[in-house]
Amino acid sequence: MTSRGQLEPSKRVKKHKSQSIHYYENALRSIEAGDAEKASEFLWGSVSQAVKALAMHRGIELRSHQRIRSYVMEVAKALQDESIKHSFDVAQSLHSNFYESGLSLEDVVMGAEDAKQLVARLFSLIPDESEEES
């Protein structure tokens, strides 16, 4: 714990990663239940938590949707990886679907694959603790 009662950065990274996985699993359950809107929001949550995990690993705390977006665009540009930007844009459309209810369940299922790939890509940029201790 830090002096203000917050978790230290490495524990916050773990927490964000764990929450990302939890939200993704909830999204899959919502898809199975036929709830496109709820699944959409869980998928957005999964992606945003993965972004926060990577940022926290790098010592950056993201506290707004705009900062999350800006950070993802920085990462995509630095890695010259347009798939990161594309998948993030899909995740943002899923987030909007929670409020606007315009996407079909099939659209959400396709978005879930993009979200899964993006989360995996972001997690791959965070070394395992065992690698950091070496």
In a structure prediction context, what are the per-residue pLDDT tens digits for the chain, which is 134 residues long? 444 457 798 999 999 999 999 999 999 999 999 999 999 999 999 999 999 999 999 999 999 999 999 999 999 999 999 999 999 999 999 988 777 778 899 999 999 999 999 999 999 999 986 444 44
Q: Which of 59, 23, 61 is nearest to 42 (CA)?
A: 23
Which domains are seen in the chain, by residue range? 9-127 (1.20.120.330)
User: pTM for the complete prediction?
Assistant: 0.90
